[in-house]
Amino acid sequence: MSAQADGAQAPRARCRALTTKGQPCRNPAGPSGLCARHERQLREAAARVGGRPGEPSGGDVRAGGDVRAGGDVRAGGDLPSGDRRGPTDAGGGDQATAEALAPFLDWAEEALDFLRRRLTGDYPIDDFGYDPELVQHVLAPLLRPLYRHWWRVEVRGLEHVPDTGAALVVANHAGTLPFDALMVALALLDEHPAHRTLRMLAADLAFTLPVVAPLARKSGNTLACNEDAERLLAAGELVGVWPEGYKGLGKPFRDRYRLQRFGRGGFVEVALRTGTPIVPVAVVGSEEIYPMLASLRRVARLLGVPYVPVTPTFPLLGPLGLVPLPSKWVIEFCPPIETSGYGPDALLDPMAVFDLTDQVRDTIQQTLYRNLADRGGVFL
């Protein structure tokens, strides 16, 4: 498939193998269910034991391509680095060198395959501009060091997010810059058993800024409007909503972890109209990355942005002040709130919409208070 939007075509399946680091391979799968690299490794493993791929000759070839032939090809055919030796690699030094170089060679081969697909246009995007390969190979790897080592994100309640089908993920919003939305999306992509993609609804400003606008589209964001949200939910996607908007993102540090108004309940109307469950999400940690002491309002008006923050490090330290503080994060996905039982009349009842909105907001607020008490320290 070329790099043209095609909403009717199903996304390309991923390779069933694991990488040398034990992570799911994110390359597109061929007819065998493996990418070109892992399919070649499977053939080499079968050749060493005197058989053909798919035949249990001298080793255990499992259904779905899991081979154990003189070594371990895990979950679809990824050979450990120690098993990649040919007839001339019998010496200990050669084997050690091959083992040391194997991760780099794997990375280089995967990177070259990714570049080939970018240059030839052989990668999928959908009607909204979402580019899953760019997210998997470029954007997500850039965010993982922040997620794993800087903020040490702890995720709870992933069992409340369905493995398949639509759901509306509703979270609190804070932190001056929308890193909380990115961390929620990365938690679902990396740690959810189904590695689900979160299609986030973003404000108009995200699609007007240079550099940010194309990345917002390619990373799965779309305009925060009911029409786009309903189309995504009808397609069985996870849709992310941050009802506080800029009121939450740019609130002063003195109001940390106190939820702002959730607007008129537009996300609840979308959930009722589509019969989609609402999954409340509480994010602890984002409030401390840029403690906002004040806003330069005149500068903000000149730049056409909602606020220009003043923090303990910015603008005092210049560009160094843009480095976020290493707070400890906890992201909790709460039990879903079902909407399918309300019926079509609920949309015409303002009190029903208000009650559901208030239930979601109260669930997030109480979870925030509980996790703040459990966290122990801001930077621990």
Is residue 7's pLDDT more than 80? no
**Residue 279 has what pLDDT?**
98
Asked if residue 329 and residue 185 are part of one domain, the reply reads: yes
Domain with 208, as residue range(s), is 132-289+324-374
Q: Domain holding 272: CATH number? A: 3.40.1130.10
Asked if residue 366 and residue 257 are part of one domain, the reply reads: yes
Check residue 122 and report its DSSP letter.
-
**Residue 235 has what pLDDT?**
95
Distance CA 201, CA 242 (A): 8
Distance of CA 258 to the CA centre of its chain: 26
Give pLDDT tens digits for 168-219.
Answer: 999 999 999 999 999 999 999 999 999 999 999 999 899 998 889 999 999 9
Please state the domain count of the chain: 2
From 68, 88, 119, the end of a domain falls on 119
Residue type, 143: L
Give pLDDT tens digits for 283-328.
Answer: 999 999 999 999 999 999 999 999 999 999 999 999 999 999 999 9
- Do the domain assignments include residue 298? no
Is residue 9's pLDDT more than 50? no
From 61, 94, 119, the end of a domain falls on 119
Q: Which residue has the higher pLDDT, 103 or 369?
A: 369
Cis before 277 (ω within 30):
no
Distance CA 362, CA 346 (A): 20
- Do the domain assignments include residue 313? no
Q: How many CB atoms lie within 10 A of CB 305?
A: 14
Question: What is the length of the chain?
Answer: 380
**Residue 309 has what pLDDT?**
94
Q: pTM score, two decimals? A: 0.76
From 119, 150, 165, the end of a domain falls on 119
The CB-side HSE value for 347 (13 A sphere, CA atoms) comes to 12
Asked if residue 165 and residue 42 are part of one domain, the reply reads: no
Q: How many CB atoms lie within 10 A of CB 159?
A: 11
**Residue 78 has what pLDDT?**
45
Give pLDDT tens digits for 358-378.
Answer: 999 999 999 999 999 998 889
DSSP state string for 1-29: --SSB-TTSPPPPBPS-B-TTSPBP-SBP
**Residue 11 has what pLDDT?**
53
Asked if residue 156 and residue 69 are part of one domain, the reply reads: no
Note whether 335 and 246 are within 8 A (CB): no
Indicate the pLDDT class of residue 87, thresholds 50, 70 and 90: very low
Is residue 52's pLDDT more than 90? no
Q: What element of type H or E holds 112? A: helix 92-120
- Do the domain assignments include residue 126? no
Give pLDDT tens digits for 118-135.
Answer: 888 888 889 999 999 999
Distance CA 123, CA 117 (A): 6
